Amino acid sequence: MPNDYLKKEPSKTEKLMYELMMHQQQLENQTFSNSMTVLAVALALGADAEKIAKFLTTDEEKIKEFGKSINAAIAKLRPAKEETEKTAKLK
């Protein structure tokens, strides 16, 4: 076992930095995936690119309001989904 000591173990700080970098990379991949999904939906619906650019640059308030309404709808739908998952597990 003379090779055991050729490479030192990473320190706690190095391990933590590695984990943080991996989480950041995963977040970037998820964000890219979500933005690509939104772009695909906009393309499929035939949305005008100039309108989307206008929303993203000047009509931020409309986007915030729309996001809030989506979150409210999700909050209403989530309990029903959880209930159906519970009943499915019981069967």
Is 66 inside a domain boundary?
yes
27/65 same-domain check? no
86/61 same-domain check? yes
Pull the structure tokens for residue 47: 């949305």
41/53 same-domain check? no
54/91 same-domain check? yes
18 pLDDT higher than 90: yes
Residue 52 near residue 42, CB atoms below 8 Å: yes
Q: CB under 8 Å, gap of 24 or more: what pairs does 24-31 form?
A: none
Rounded to 10 deg, the angle between the 49-57 and 60-90 helix axes is 100
Number of domains observed in the structure of the chain:
2
pTM over 0.85: no
Amino acid identity, position 51: K
* 28-85 confidence digits (pLDDT tens): 877 767 677 788 888 899 999 888 888 878 888 888 888 889 889 988 998 888 888 7
Residue ranges making up the domain that contains 88 = 49-91
Dihedral sign for Cα 61, 62, 65, 67, please.
negative
Mean pLDDT over 2-20 rounds to 82
Report pLDDT for 27.
Answer: 84
43/72 same-domain check? no
